[in-house]
């Protein structure tokens, strides 16, 4: 390479080095400082939230915030909007996206018992606001899927109990095997016979002890089998409807009230059977 060419290369590289330093200076002077200021503002916002949430007049304050957001700033707040989100929206107001993100950050901090004085370090240690928001979103997604899976499992368990009223087949275990079967009971809701098919006949050769993990696997398989069906009979539709009713909060409350009533009757009956104390 000629001397002039080497000088040209060095000049281009020097210009690149200068731009690189300018990028570093910009990041340190503006981005980092801006984040420091923002984290400090969020810490103040958390202190303000502590004040509102801990106030004896919290309901009145939140009600006024809702009204102000709606009438003055045209920001709608749903009936089920969390209190913390209302407070953040009241402060941030015009920038709805930022309000949403900041509320997530503060929510995660509260759930991890972070104090306002610790918030700035908490944000930095967790990779900044965007990283916290992403992890919070991922956590919510996992929790939502878990809740949905638990809901489907409850529905299938209720459905299987209903189907037991009209089983595919039924039989009694021979007396000499009864104790062995009872000993196999674990923490699950169902027994799982091991069957061998011989000439079209299902021959039960054993029963697998139950536990939550195994039952969860079986229920997942049943869910897949049910979901793969193209159509359902009227009886199956009725069974689904009954199963949904059985797992509903209203039905569970009714059952609990009935249990409480029976327990109260049993206690009352027990008291009446107790001998009266003999007067001295």
Instruction: Evaluate if residue 116 carries a pLDDT over 50.
Output: yes
pLDDT digits (tens, 9 = 90+) for 198-213: 998 988 888 777 777 7
Q: Mean of the pLDDT values across residues 123-133? A: 80
Instruction: Evaluate if residue 261 carries a pLDDT over 50.
Output: yes
DSSP state of 276: P
Residue 239: per-residue pLDDT: 86
Cα separation, 133 vs 138, in Å, equals 9
% of the chain surpassing 70 pLDDT: 77
Residue 104: per-residue pLDDT: 86
Confidence of residue 32 (pLDDT cuts 50, 70, 90): low
CA distances from 83 to 78, 89, 95, 116, 243 (A): 11, 10, 18, 17, 35
Confidence of residue 24 (pLDDT cuts 50, 70, 90): low
Instruction: Evaluate if residue 147 carries a pLDDT over 80.
Output: no
Instruction: Evaluate if residue 81 carries a pLDDT over 60.
Output: yes
Candidates 129, 202, 142; CA nearest to 171 is: 202
Q: Mean pLDDT in the chain?
A: 78
Contacts of 82 (CB under 8 A, 6+ apart): 103, 107
% of the chain surpassing 90 pLDDT: 1
Instruction: Evaluate if residue 27 carries a pLDDT over 50.
Output: no
């Amino acid at each position: 390479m000629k001397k002039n060419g080497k000088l040209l290369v060095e000049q281009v590289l020097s210009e690149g080095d200068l731009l690189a330093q300018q990028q570093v200076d910009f990041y340190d002077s503006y981005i980092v400082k801006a984040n420091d200021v923002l984290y400090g503002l969020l810490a103040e916002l958390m202190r303000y939230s502590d004040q509102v949430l801990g106030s004896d007049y919290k309901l009145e304050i939140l009600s006024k915030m809702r009204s102000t957001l709606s009438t003055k700033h045209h920001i709608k707040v749903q009936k089920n909007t969390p209190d913390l989100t209302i407070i953040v929206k009241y402060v941030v107001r015009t920038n709805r996206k930022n309000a949403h993100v900041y509320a997530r950050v503060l929510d995660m901090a509260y759930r991890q018992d972070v104090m306002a004085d610790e918030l700035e370090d908490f944000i930095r240690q967790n990779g900044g606001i965007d990283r916290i928001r992403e992890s919070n979103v991922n956590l919510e997604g996992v929790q939502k899927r878990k809740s949905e899976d638990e809901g489907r499992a409850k529905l299938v368990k209720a459905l299987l109990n209903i189907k037991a009223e009209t089983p595919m087949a039924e039989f009694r275990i021979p007396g000499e095997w009864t104790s062995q079967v009872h000993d196999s009971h674990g923490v699950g809701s169902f027994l799982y016979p091991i069957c061998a098919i011989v000439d079209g006949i299902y021959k039960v050769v054993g029963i697998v002890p139950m536990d939550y993990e195994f039952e969860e696997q079986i229920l997942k398989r049943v869910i897949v089998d049910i979901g793969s069906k193209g159509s359902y009979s009227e009886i199956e539709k009725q069974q689904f409807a009954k199963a949904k009713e059985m797992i509903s909060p209203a039905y569970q409350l009714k059952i609990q009230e009935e249990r409480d009533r029976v327990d109260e009757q049993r206690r009352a009956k027990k008291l009446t059977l107790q001998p009266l104390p003999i007067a001295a």
